[in-house]
Amino acid sequence: MTENTPQAITEEAGSLSDLDVNLTLSPEQIEADERWMQHAIMLAGKAEAIDEVPVGAVIVLDGEIIGEGWNQSIHLHDATAHAEIMALRAAGKTVENYRLIDATLYVTLEPCSMCAGAMVHSRVKRLVYGAVDLKTGAAGSVFNLVDHPKLNHQVEVRSGVFASETGALLSQFFRRRRKEKKALKLLQKG
């Protein structure tokens, strides 16, 4: 794994166990978290299909999807078009309110500071993510905006749901991208 590839840390590894509420979850909540994370993984495939970093996000309220998104920054020429932001925008339109009280956001990669801040502002209740982002993660790995005691809202965090799978998606994407760039350089030389 190169320094540009986000690493996945599973719940079993325990690296972020102090940030998780995993031990207090019911079997039904664990099953729901896994089901919605699988949906987020499917959305990550939509990002990859348009050659974006494969990150997908879904927001659920009362067992129903109220917003979903996938990375589109390159495609839309918009630095803010991260999966989480796209999902937050869609959810706000669905409930006709920017505050998403009692909603859970599922995302395949730990949110960056922009996305973490947006979750705090929108009052998302829970964040469930897959792979840890050791370069820009703002939900516990690099720093923790979503649960900062000086902010006016704290988001509950569960990390590592399908971390191996979500981490593998990212690793494969960046491996393919490096291979393509190398092939292009060789083609330009020859």
Distance, in Å, from the CA atom of 108 to the CA atom of 70, rounded to the nearest integer, reads 10
Token pair for 91: 């959810």
For residue 147, CA distances in Å to 23, 42, 121, 128, 153 come to 18, 27, 12, 13, 8
Please identify which of the residues 28, 84, 96, 180 carries the catalytic annotation.
84
Sheet containing strand 126-131, edge to edge, reads: 64-70, 56-61, 104-109, 126-131, 156-158
12 is catalytic: no
- Distance from CA of residue 20 to its chain's centroid? 15
- Find, among 150, 132, 171, 127, the residue nearest to 37 by Cα: 127
Q: Which residues are catalytic?
A: 84
